[in-house]
Structure 1
Amino acid sequence: MKSTLFRMKLTAVGFALTASGQVAAFDWDIYGKIDLQGLYTENDLYRYADEGWQIEAPLSRIGAKAKQAFNDEFNLVAVFEYQVNGLDQANRDDKFGLRNAYIGFAGKSWGELVFGKNDTRFKKSEGKIDLFNETLNDMAQLTPGQDRLENVVVYTSPVLSGLQFSATYQTGVSDEESGGYDWTLSYGDSGFKSYSYYVAYSQAHDLNNLDAQRVLVHARLAEVAGGLLSGGLMFQHSEHQTRPLKGDALLAELAFDREQFTYKLQWQKDDSKTRHPEEGRLWSAGLEYGYSKELAVYTMFSMLDLQSQDDNSAALGVRYTF
């Protein structure tokens, strides 16, 4: 129902603007990701997966984004995405779900202000440090704060000499609690295009029942044996607002890119007990081969070590983006 209302509102805005004769039609772009994965977990401890062999389509999605430029300083922007939810027991009755869906305005000199369902800026502060993002071994396996919330206002500033500020505010228009917010200050480039490093500090205050502080650095380290070695470190302190849970998380990772291969190694620990009932550590290793910019095949392995029990996983997948 919510997604239908969003589409109706977006269509109405576009029709009104076109009918007025002031602007042309929306400039649309369709994009998405298809990820098909064979996954095995030894026990039933991992979030996002059941025990045994299974076929996954981890967060495969299709989306549309629109932009209408009135001038250099004022643009109407909108995004609508739909995704395949995890195929574990928790999502057995809801195979598909709404992803990011928002509308707002943007300008080159003042940034972007949007409203709707969106990733929090605390979540986005991770940049590309998580080598296993959107898989079983995502940092969210152990560490909280990777939220996508409804009815949030998100502001993102332009990049000024490498610096960027962004913030989220939870309005609570629906049944979600209002008043929570976060903010992030970053320096560099998470994609290593303009800068060879990315540094970020972020805070969340009562956002989805979480108070947290995060600091991270991610950088190109050296050229080795004809390839590029990069690495990152992240520290996070988390406190849950409705349960007596708090603690610290650490994440360290190394990636080596050579020709079409990417070798990945990541270690993570979290003692906040917000994602699992026990303190946990997660080792993940992977290898990816890119046939092209759009198509890649990969394999990954992990060991999840909790205080009183452990689990292991292995996966082989193919990913296509467009």
Structure 2
Amino acid sequence: MKINLLTVGCFSLSMISGFVSAETLKAYGRVHAGVQYSDISSESETSIESYASRLGFKGDTKVNDGLEIFFKYEFEVNPADNDKDGKSGENITARSQYVGMKGSLGQILIGRDDTAMKKSQGKVDMMNDFEADIKTLFAGENRLGDTIQYSTPELNHLKFVVSYIAEDNSKQKGKSGLSVAAMYGDSKLKKTPIYISVAHDEEVAGQDINRITVQGKMGNATLGGVYQQSEKVDSSSKVDSFMVSASYKIKSYKLLAQYQDSDGASGKLSDSGNATSLGVEKSLSKQARMYFWYSQFDLDNNAEQEHMALTLRYDF
């Protein structure tokens, strides 16, 4: 008899939760799926897509008044997967998974997590998890295993994050990497009206990268921008990329707009060009929301792309 590994894991954790308080162990997740229309090189299709749906478990325990141990196990779960109707188990992939400790001197974690560079973008990407996610034309959006990451305590809204990626990581090609970032302000723009970060990658996944991110809130409007210069470790050719984003809240609606441009092939699409996106987010409740968005890619070496979707998201 075949037993699904995730089912066993969920059952085991549910048993454990009976012996610990709800404050120390939490199950959480997101289901985000929708109907998407895509037109690439005059070939169109309509599909059901998942947008980084996930399931996770996290917890912490107090060692003493100044020290806590914490962990996270997070998986991406694709409810729209069509490979044997999801029975193969290939619709489950790893996201952030680590163990660490935190105290008055900051926190350190070991395992798999977003690099300091990836974390430095904050919430500036209005098309996050969609077709025009910043990673389509930008390098540096890495979530890597074999990582040790240290974050300083926040002082006057300023903190630093350092990620060390060991050389045995498959993307490091035998060389260790270092990702560092300085961040000022609240990335959610709730505690401060502005967020600014400066980040640098040194030989991380084959890239050297410098990035500056700025985002600010004025009333119901939020404006942001990113400038980045990247260079492959084995090349002297530099790639300049930038992105601007905006949102405007009207009651339960949020209007979204974003434009990104890259003069080199450094992102997921491995091409230079630009992407223009417009969207609307509708809040249904504290946990549920809907999106309608449209994105167009004008690429230099590949056919133009158009994507449009209506999606439903539920967070728990």
TM-score range, shorter chain: 0.7 to 0.9
CA distance in 2 between counterparts of 1:218 and 1:103 reads 31
Match of 1:193 in 2: 190
Counterpart of 1:118? 113
- After the TM superposition, which parts of structure 1 deviate over 3 Å for at least 4 consecutive aligned residues? 23-26, 85-89, 172-176, 242-245
After superposition, the C-alpha distances for 1:117-146 in whole angstroms (9 at most, x for unaligned) are 111110010000001111111111111111
Residue 65 (structure 2) pairs with residue 72 (structure 1)? yes
Residue 312 of structure 2 corresponds to residue 315 of structure 1: no
Q: Which residue number corresponds to residue 204 of structure 2?
A: 207
The residue number in structure 2 matching 1:52 is 45
Question: Which of 225, 239, 255 is residue 247 of structure 2 equivalent to?
Answer: 255
TM-score, normalised relative to structure 1: 0.84
The superposition leaves residues 33-83 of structure 1 with CA deviations (integer Å, 9 ceiling, x where unpaired) of 0001111110169xxxx9521111111011000100122321000000111
- The percent identity for this pair of structures is 26
Cα deviation, residue 237, structure 1:
0.3
Residues 146-177 of structure 1: CA distance to partner in whole angstroms, max 9, x if unpaired? 11101100111121001010010002345453
Tell me how far apart the structure 1 counterparts of residues 65 and 308 of structure 2 sit (CA, whole Å). Answer: 49
Q: Can you give the 5+ residue segments of structure 1 that lack an aligned partner in the other structure?
A: none
| Alignment partner of 1:100 is 2:100 | no
Q: What letter matches 1:231 in structure 2?
A: L
- Structure 2 Cα separation of the partners of residues 277 and 172 of structure 1: 24
1:246 corresponding residue in structure 2: 238
| Alignment gaps of 5+ in structure 2 | none
1:23-42 equivalences under 5 Å are: 27-42=24-39
| Structure 1 residues 283 and 176, CA gap change in structure 2 (3 angstroms) | closer
1:114 maps to a residue whose letter is: L
Q: Contact 1:283/1:303 (CA < 8 Å) preserved in 2?
A: yes
Task: Tell me how far 1:95 sits from its aligned partner.
Answer: 2.2
Which of residues 216, 224, 233 is equivalent to 1:232?
Answer: 224
Q: State the distance in 1 between where 2:30 and 2:57 align.
A: 12
* 8 Å Cα contact 1:119/1:149 also seen in 2: yes
SS in 2 for 1:206: strand
Q: How many residues are paired up? A: 295
| Aligned with residue 262 of structure 2, among 270, 295, 304 | 270
Residue number in structure 2 paired with 1:290:
283
Amino acid at match of 1:317: T
CA–CA separation in structure 2 for the residues paired with 1:167 and 1:56:
34
State the one-letter code of the partner of 1:58. Answer: Y
Taking the TM superposition and a 5 Å limit, the aligned residue runs for 1:81-100 are 81-84=74-77, 94-100=90-96
Deviation per CA, 1:161-212, whole angstroms, max 9, x where unpaired? 0101001000234545341011100111111111011000000000111100
CA distance in 2, matches of 1:207, 1:197: 28
Aligned residues: CA RMSD: 2.7
AA matched with 2:232 = H
Cα distance between partner residues in 2 of 1:319 and 1:24: 28
Q: Are the equivalent residues in 1 in contact too, given 2:55–2:77 (CA < 8 A)?
A: no
Q: For 1:118 and 1:44, how far apart are their aligned partners in 2? A: 36
Matched, 1:182 2:176: no
